[in-house]
Amino acid sequence: MTWESEGVEKCKGETTVGLEKGKQPNRYFPGNAIKTTKYTLLLFIPMNLFEQFHRLANIYFVGLAILNFVPVVNAFQPEVALIPICVILCLTALKDAWEDFRRYQSDRKLNNTPCLIYSRKEKQFVERRWKDVRVGDFVRVVCNEIVPADLLLLHTSDPSGVCHIETSNLDGETNLKLRRTMSGLCISHPVFEPESFNSVVVCEKPNNNLNHFKCYAEKPDKEKVGAGIESLLLRGCTVRNTDHAVGFVVYAGHETKSMLNNNGPRYKRSKLERKLNINVFFCVILLFTMCLIGALGHFLWLQALPVVPPFLVPDSNGHLDSPSLSGFYMFFTMIILLQVLIPISLYVSIELVKIGQIFFITNDIDLYDEDTDSRVQCKALNITEDLGQIEYIFSDKTGTLTENKMVFRRCSIMGTEYPHKENAVLEEPESEEDIIFDHVPQPPNTRWSLDTEDTNPEDTQHHHGSWRKSKVAGTAQSNVAFSSPLETEVIPDRKLLQQISRAESSSSSSQKIDPYLDFFLALAICNTVVVSMATAQRQRVSAPRLLLILKVFLNCLALSFCSFISGQNRTISEDSVTEGDDFNPPVKTEEPGDINGLQTCSLYAPSQCNMPATTSDNLSYEAESPDEAALVYAAKAYGFTLLARTHDSVTVRLPSGEDLVFEVLDTLTFDPIRKRMSILVRHPITKKFVLYTKGADYAIMELLGTPYAGMCRHQKNIAADTQHHLDCYAKEGLRTLCFTKKIVSDKMYESWLVNRRRALAAIDNREELVMDTAVQLETNLSLLGATGIEDRLQESVPDTIVALREAGIQVWVLTGDKPETAVNIGYACRLLEDEDLVINMSTVFQLTCTSILDCTLEEVRRYSEDPRNVDTTQDISLVIDGRTLTMALSSDLQDRFVDLAKRCRSVLCCRVTPLQKSRVVKVVREKLKVMTLAVGDGANDVNMIQAADIGIGISGQEGMQAVMASDFAISRFRHLKKLLLVHGHWCYTRLANMIIYFFYKNVAYVNLLFWYQFFCGFSGTAMIDYWLMIFFNLFFTSVPPIMFGIMDNDVSAEMLLGVPELYRMGQGCNSISCYIFTHLGLFWFSTFWVSMLDAFYQSLVCFFIPYLAYQDSDIDVFTFGTPLNTISLFTILLHLSIEIKAWTVIHWVIILGSVVLYFIVTLAYSGLCITCNPPSNPYWILQSQMADPMFYLICILTTVVALLPRYHKCYPPCPFNVPLSVLQSSFFMN
């Protein structure tokens, strides 16, 4: 019913959706129903088993079970040997089935979501389900509805053919994105007629790139119209601010971009896991040794027998194997008997422990950010303990160390500096009081050093705190980006205000040409900021009726070009992005209007606009980049209020109260290669084409041409002065932008427009062509001025950096900023200290770079080797710029650079590209073999985040790419401190201790069986009932170590934060201080062997004390095994109890519960099992034992003796505890 009249053909690898009557055209394309389940009901068991046997551990188990079916080697009843593997397989299968069922449910819910599909029969949109959607259908989506499939937007309720979508379901970005109808198809009547659509749509093969899409529609007259991502509504997005939209399904179901992007969680192998495998390998060797001893012992024992004794049972033919053959068989029997030595359940337990650890990390209220209402997110589930072993941190600057919330600080117009001193004063009050509480010594002349009334950086920090609070109170809507009043408050410079009013009065009669006015107009216009009412954030925008009619008319005339450069193009591959002093690429590309619609300008009078004049205070700006918002607010502070922005016009209110409506002809969006953006408008009064450009200073300065009209000063001078100011700004740590203006002549515009249109219509290389046209226009600019925007340091950044450094972590900052800005921030966040020796590496020549490296290395080595400097280690910091870094990372200098960097306390890399960032991380990680962590917030950090052992994304202001690529996502840099120092330490020590305990437990238990072999002719007899052995590992002793791995607190959080040095325990042993910590018993390797020895000792005690006690008695096999089992349980649990550092209610319940469970289960089993499970047949054994006082006496004695060495370890005067107690006392003294 919904297949409609579109023909379908596949040609040359492209999906072609066409219009061809008569056939069932959509059958070749997958439907929109999705199926994310792995299994089907019928095939669940075989498929799941197949899945599970990909795990080596399961194969090991099955191998053992099969081995047990070989009669000559079996150790237990063959069927019984299947129990462990069955239990593990069943548990895993249950878990898988449950997960799959949840997926099935959500799939079903999704597939049955209603949606509107056009029905040819009924000539209207009818309600169907998502699963009914086919490629080629017309689907109508109404406001706040979720898009069911990837739709090519053909029509919207908006007369200008735009539609807003929210992609938070896809990438977590909450800001609205603009989509526009495919231009040129001219079907934007008020009522859309699907049947009038008669083009063939050809689009690229389905791919997972959310930011790129290419297709064209071929009209019947063979004219091709191109479209890109800006016309594609992605499945899973929500339509906002638009009454309804109609689209043509191009990809459905699993071919949609969102489904193709739907990858599972990241899998990384942690360092501990790799170490673990070595230990498992040791266990395998141990197992083989024990089995060999068993086999050899059996052989010798048989050899020593003169005749066949009555207890030696021949096989069913009455034939006895030779001793050597029996010994050979015994080897395998022993493997079956001692199989538990390889801790298979360890892997399951580790997974459970990590889930628990992640639960606690994500629930930590200290890692929760109220502003954004976000917790820490753990995306990689299995590297929690790596957080405790970090040695190098690579951090981005903007948005990571800083707020990425921009405040307009200063500006320079026509070579004159306006310092905006009042802005600094604004932060002054009540700062005196705060300094008292501030223990961190301040390095003098840090940032803000240009002005005398500088504020102390600490004050600003404090204010962040108070601001945050008031902001929470003020704006509950946390998703409104950059719109809260506190960031936007700009107190205008008095001098500049005077200038403006003078300019206003002098030029009001004339054509309003004045550099001051132009400067602020540029601030207000040259951006992609969307204006919305603060009170009506996500409401549908309804256009006035008059406009509607006009726009419909205009839209039909509209040309099919538009700026197709997607704002999201800043993908990983673009390596030239520097994130510092530039604005972010706008997502909401404002579309150029039509050239024929000149008469519309006057219609955009404020009274007709949906932004009434009286509500200008109520305006809220939604900007893609915080810099843009800051600039718009700055302009507003000077009276240039951005009132409204539609795709083809901008309304600005001048200080005089007059509203100007600029017709926007084109927006040359930002790209990382040009590093600037421009907006081409027609001035409403002069009717001239004006191009306002803003960008990074080096991207602008070389394009300057004609001086500003009407200015007597020479452009060169202005440029030089401005450049000087820019340098000063950079030194202060401000982000700089230059603003220019250019008058474009009509002729030039016409000729350019032709090129532009051609570029926009192109299908191949369109982006490059479009960029070329932008470059063509952006020449010969007139400099207006420059701005300095402050990016405040985040709260507690210096504290965090100092703490991380005390924890033995080297912090590197990699930024795209200028060296001056970066160094300044470096001092401010205490990455660099005053007494540091700062080595500045900045050169263009390879040779110079080599010699600098060599000299510095030589000097550093000499310094450290000098006996006089043993105690005073010079703190060296390295500042290196991107160009030099490239040379330093070249293969011949790499080693020297890394050697130098290793000796530096901190390293600051400036002007680095995303690719360089990841290269630095990779080189350090591979050369130094250290654990690295990269933290960043922007798309330019994605490479680095992926290259490091742990990638941390900061969900900040710059979209979610970094978060999407990261293993952990936090919202503030300061959270890193607790995440690493507390959770990292805990996760590492907990898991390490748990794993060691697991190995210990298995060895201690299995060895009991091994010792018994010496008394049963190495025949593979188990004196413990096999069921009880299984239960022992499965129930009685499995929960306590898991609880131990999740909940133990060896050191309190307060102390870990107070004494960051404690973190060094987790790091590898590469410093002297580490030797102290080896004694703490945390150092992995020695601890492992100590535990193994302990396990051997305990198993010896647990076996031989009962053995000696029952010697020469009439004890039977399983009655002998029962106290052994009980003693083992007590020893193993008490051993854990000694390891547990902090006992909570849960610990008590679980430990005591395990003991109670043991007795209940064993008693019940012994009471009910009369003839089951031969040969052990435990009937009434535990009951009779528990009636015997000897049982208790043996249990008590053995447990005490087994644990005596551990008691000793606990006793304070022993050397093991000294360092910790010293630290403890030093901490408490502080």
Catalytic sites, residue numbers: 396
Stretch touching another protein by CB under 8 A, among 4-12, 270-278, 616-624, 1175-1183 = 1175-1183
Distance CA 544, CA 534 (A): 20
DSSP annotation string for 677-717: EEEEEE-TTT--EEEEEEE-HHHHGGGB-SPPTT--S-HHH
**Total interface residues for another protein by CB under 8 A:** 96
1190 interacts with another protein by CB under 8 A: yes
Q: C-beta of 1226: minimal distance to another protein in Å?
A: 15
Question: Which residues make Cβ contacts (< 8 Å) with residue 1131, sequence separation at least 6?
Answer: 1004, 1098, 1102, 1198, 1199, 1202, 1203
Closer to another protein by CB, 129 or 922: give it. 129
Stretch touching another protein by CB under 8 A, among 824-832, 1032-1040, 1061-1069, 1206-1214 = 1206-1214
Classify residue 198 as exposed, middle or buried by CB count within 10 Å of its CB (0-12, 13-18, 19+): middle
261 interacts with another protein by CB under 8 A: no
Question: What angle (nearest 5°) sits at the alpha carbon of residue 178, between those of residues 173 and 182?
Answer: 135
Distance CA 872, CA 273 (A): 38
Q: C-beta of 815: minimal distance to another protein in Å?
A: 30
Closer to another protein by CB, 66 or 305: give it. 305
Among 119, 916, 1119, 1162, binds another protein (CB under 8 A): 1119
Q: C-beta of 431: minimal distance to another protein in Å?
A: 29
CA distances from 1029 to 302, 784, 1025 (A): 28, 83, 6
By rule CB under 8 A, what string of x and - marks binding of each residue 602-641 to another protein?
----------------------------------------
1215 interacts with another protein by CB under 8 A: no
Which residues are part of a known binding site for Mg(2+)? 396, 398, 937, 941
Closer to another protein by CB, 477 or 864: give it. 477
1211 interacts with another protein by CB under 8 A: yes
Q: C-beta of 57: minimal distance to another protein in Å?
A: 27
1194 interacts with another protein by CB under 8 A: yes
Q: C-beta of 47: minimal distance to another protein in Å?
A: 21
- Location of structure tokens 């939209």: 245
Best CA proximity match to 339, nearest among 75, 78, 89? 75
220 interacts with another protein by CB under 8 A: no
Distance CA 751, CA 1163 (A): 96
363 interacts with another protein by CB under 8 A: yes
Interface of this chain with another protein, residues 1128 to 1167, rule: CB under 8 A: 1138, 1140-1146
Q: C-beta of 1093: minimal distance to another protein in Å?
A: 20
Which residues are part of a known binding site? 396-398, 628, 670, 694, 735, 815-817, 911, 917, 937, 940-941
Interface of this chain with another protein, residues 55 to 114, rule: CB under 8 A: 75, 106-107, 109-110, 113
CA distances from 704 to 122, 717, 779, 1171 (A): 62, 12, 7, 99
Stretch touching another protein by CB under 8 A, among 285-293, 432-440, 721-729, 1104-1112 = 1104-1112
Question: Which residues make Cβ contacts (< 8 Å) with residue 712, sequence separation at least 6?
Answer: none
Among 365, 436, 473, 870, binds another protein (CB under 8 A): 365
Interface of this chain with another protein, residues 451 to 490, rule: CB under 8 A: 476, 479
Closer to another protein by CB, 301 or 749: give it. 301
306 interacts with another protein by CB under 8 A: yes
Among 209, 536, 1188, 1222, binds another protein (CB under 8 A): 1188
Stretch touching another protein by CB under 8 A, among 439-447, 723-731, 994-1002, 1017-1025 = 1017-1025
Q: C-beta of 589: minimal distance to another protein in Å?
A: 24
Interface of this chain with another protein, residues 1042 to 1071, rule: CB under 8 A: 1047, 1049, 1053
Stretch touching another protein by CB under 8 A, among 55-63, 361-369, 546-554, 697-705 = 361-369
Q: C-beta of 110: minimal distance to another protein in Å?
A: 5
Among 170, 201, 387, 530, binds another protein (CB under 8 A): 170
Q: Provide Rg for the chain, Cα atoms.
A: 37
Question: Which residues make Cβ contacts (< 8 Å) with residue 1140, sequence separation at least 6?
Answer: 1044, 1048, 1147
Closer to another protein by CB, 320 or 603: give it. 320
Among 282, 553, 863, 1110, binds another protein (CB under 8 A): 1110
Distance CA 389, CA 386 (A): 5
360 interacts with another protein by CB under 8 A: yes
Q: C-beta of 1116: minimal distance to another protein in Å?
A: 4
Closer to another protein by CB, 813 or 1062: give it. 1062
1015 interacts with another protein by CB under 8 A: yes
1023 interacts with another protein by CB under 8 A: yes
Query: Cα dihedral sign for 834, 835, 836, 840?
Result: positive
Among 603, 1109, 1157, 1163, binds another protein (CB under 8 A): 1109
Residue 250 belongs to what H/E stretch? strand 244-251
- Location of structure tokens 């009471």: 1167
959 interacts with another protein by CB under 8 A: no
Interface of this chain with another protein, residues 569 to 598, rule: CB under 8 A: none
42 interacts with another protein by CB under 8 A: no
Closer to another protein by CB, 497 or 1016: give it. 1016
CB 908 within 8 A of CB 881: no
Tell me the two tokens of residue 934: 């990269």
625: left (phi over 0), alpha (psi -120 to 50) or beta: beta
CA distances from 670 to 582, 628, 673, 771 (A): 9, 12, 9, 9
Per-residue burial over 749-763, b = 16 or more CB atoms within 10 Å of its CB, e = otherwise: beebbeebeebbbee
Stretch touching another protein by CB under 8 A, among 48-56, 302-310, 401-409, 775-783 = 302-310
Best CA proximity match to 968, nearest among 935, 930, 924, 920? 935
Distance CA 1106, CA 1120 (A): 8
Among 316, 509, 573, 872, binds another protein (CB under 8 A): 316
Q: C-beta of 364: minimal distance to another protein in Å?
A: 7
Interface of this chain with another protein, residues 122 to 151, rule: CB under 8 A: 146
CB 185 within 8 A of CB 202: no
Question: Which residues make Cβ contacts (< 8 Å) with residue 709, sequence separation at least 6?
Answer: 513, 743, 782
Query: Cα dihedral sign for 554, 556, 561, 566?
Result: positive
CB 953 within 8 A of CB 934: no
Phi, psi of 140 (to 5 degrees): -110, 130
By rule CB under 8 A, what string of x and - marks binding of each residue 809-838 to another protein?
------------------------------
Among 11, 42, 191, 313, binds another protein (CB under 8 A): 313
Closer to another protein by CB, 217 or 330: give it. 330
Per-residue burial over 460-479, b = 16 or more CB atoms within 10 Å of its CB, e = otherwise: bbbbbeebeeebeeebeebe
In 521-653, DSSP assigns E strands to 530-533, 619-622, 641-646, 649-653
CB 943 within 8 A of CB 918: yes
Stretch touching another protein by CB under 8 A, among 179-187, 620-628, 923-931, 1011-1019 = 1011-1019
CA–centroid distance for 1127 within its chain: 48
381 interacts with another protein by CB under 8 A: no
Cis peptide leading into residue 25 (ω within 30°): no
Question: Which residues make Cβ contacts (< 8 Å) with residue 86, sequence separation at least 6?
Answer: none
Inter-helix orientation angle 1117-1139/1189-1210, to 10°: 30
